[in-house]
Amino acid sequence: MPEPTAASDGAPRPFEGLVVVELGHSVAAPFAGQILGELGATVIKVEKDDGDAARKWGPPFAEGASTIFQALNRNKQSVVCQLRDPAQLQALRELILSRADVVLQNLRPGQIEALGLDGPALLAARPSLVYCNMGAFGRAGPLKGHPGYDPLMQAFGGIMSTTGEPGRPAVRVGASIVDLGTGMWAVIGILSALWTRRESGRGQVVDVSLFETATTWVSLIASQVLASGESPGRHGSGTASIVPYKGYATRDGEIVVAAGSDALFRALARTVGHPEWAEDPRFADNPSRVRNQKLLYGWLDEIFLQDDTGRWMEKLEAAGVPCSPVHEMDQVLAHPQTAALGLVQRVPGTAMDVIGLPLSFDGLRPAPRARPPALGEHTDTLLGAAARAPGGADPQRSAGKQEGTP
């Protein structure tokens, strides 16, 4: 893969020339690496002999690997390195010390220290290095050595306890919000460390974790519990402290209505044919509506069932009441708003479409620069003779065929 160049569409590549070594697998670390790569960095992904497990997380598969892997690993180079092979481990260490600006790692707790690839060890030899640990439970505490995955952290971190409907089992948020959020926090931490390095010339160790990300996602709810001492429970599509603010079944689908102020509540009451609600002391302000939400929601549930989603959208939008249909994923992807923003992007050299980065510079969104790498595609180039050490894997065995092909 060639060195990063400016985007053909003119979008800026602010991290062109930055070299990132990703000792990462699954979702969180690859997502962080991909963000940096899409913004211009050269990202070298280090994989074990049989590759990142995410290569096989299918079906569905696309062009030789799972769609999950392909959605997380574009703009990267791949090297296979057997970390227990001394020659290959030394070659990787030399690669980091000679080229890397940033190291991302989310290996099993304790493994990175045993290999001598931990932050303090590498910074002692390369003080300008920015090193990011992406752990499960963080750098301290009784659980610091435990592994973690997105559903476990949604459970442990309190997200699942507030997701779902009252009286029913807790529900995981379908999207991998803890993994992806941890990748975002890693990038924020890395950028902060790089900014500091501009003045000091010195790198530092950045720590992020799945658990800390999970607690951040529920920080608004946590503030309520810290103040009241009461658990908010589960509220379906609604929330504990704003009423009316939830979804409703319609005659042909579902709609979410967010009437989060007194003025919006009055507009909603008029729209559904009950302007007198605005004068009812039970609904006079938000605290009153929260106390009487069971009654109010019972009425609204019945009313919204009487018409189609499209008609309710017309009425509510005309009244200035914030609302949205509940879209299926195919509807989101095909929506004119998605197209207008250019969110769906083609990966160069493939027939794969992906969701691009959710940011633009002067109206230009950075686009994918290169396809996800085949397993070990760049091993020979980057690790050289050490990759062919006795007992080592043949780095070219999969250069033309990615793992995970069904």
CB 33 within 8 A of CB 104: yes
24 and 147, same domain (yes or no): yes
Same domain, 90 and 207: yes
Q: Is residue 7 part of a domain?
A: no
CATH number (domain holding residue 262)? 3.30.1540.10
For residue 386, what pLDDT is reported? 65
Cβ-Cβ contacts under 8 Å for 127 (sequence gap 6 or more): 201, 202, 203
With beta carbons less than 8 A apart as the criterion, state whether 112 and 46 touch: no
Is 347 found in the same domain as 318? no
- Decide if 70 contacts 353 (C-beta within 8 A): no
Q: Are residues 212 and 295 in the same domain?
A: no
- What is the average per-residue pLDDT within 345-363? 94
275-320 per-position pLDDT tens digit: 999 999 999 999 999 999 999 999 999 999 999 999 999 999 999 9
User: Is residue 400 over pLDDT 80?
Assistant: no
The pLDDT assigned to 388 comes to: 61
> Whole-number mean pLDDT of the chain?
91
How far is residue 75 from each of residues 50, 213, 262, measured CA to CA in Å? 20, 25, 49
Residue 395, pLDDT > 70, answer no
Looking at the fold, whether 310 and 203 belong to one and the same domain comes out as no
User: For residue 64, what are the contacts with CB-CB under 8 A and spacing of at least 6?
Assistant: 374, 401, 402, 403, 404, 405
Q: How confident is the model at residue 169 (pLDDT cuts 50, 70, 90)?
A: very high
Select from 297, 325, 353 the last residue of a domain: 325
Q: How many domains does the chain have?
A: 2
Q: What sign does the CA torsion over 104, 108, 109, 115 have?
A: negative
Query: pLDDT confidence of 4, banded at 50, 70, 90?
Result: very low
What pLDDT is attached to residue 110?
A: 87
Percent of the chain with pLDDT over 70: 92
- The contacts of residue 385 (CB under 8 Å, 6+ apart) are none
The closest alpha carbon to 82, from 394, 401, 382, belongs to 394
> Does 167 lie in the same domain as 121?
yes
Confidence category of residue 384, pLDDT binned at 50, 70, 90: confident
pLDDT tier for residue 392 given thresholds of 50, 70 and 90: very low
Asked if 204 and 351 sit in the same domain, the reply is yes
Residue 233 — pLDDT band, cuts 50, 70, 90?
Answer: confident
Tell me the average pLDDT across 207-216: 97
Domain that holds residue 74: 19-217+342-388
* pLDDT(6) > 50: no
Q: Is 399 among the domain residues?
A: no
Residue 25 lies in a domain: yes
Whether 184 and 262 map to the same domain: the answer is no
Q: How many CA atoms lie within 13 A of 165 on its CB side?
A: 3
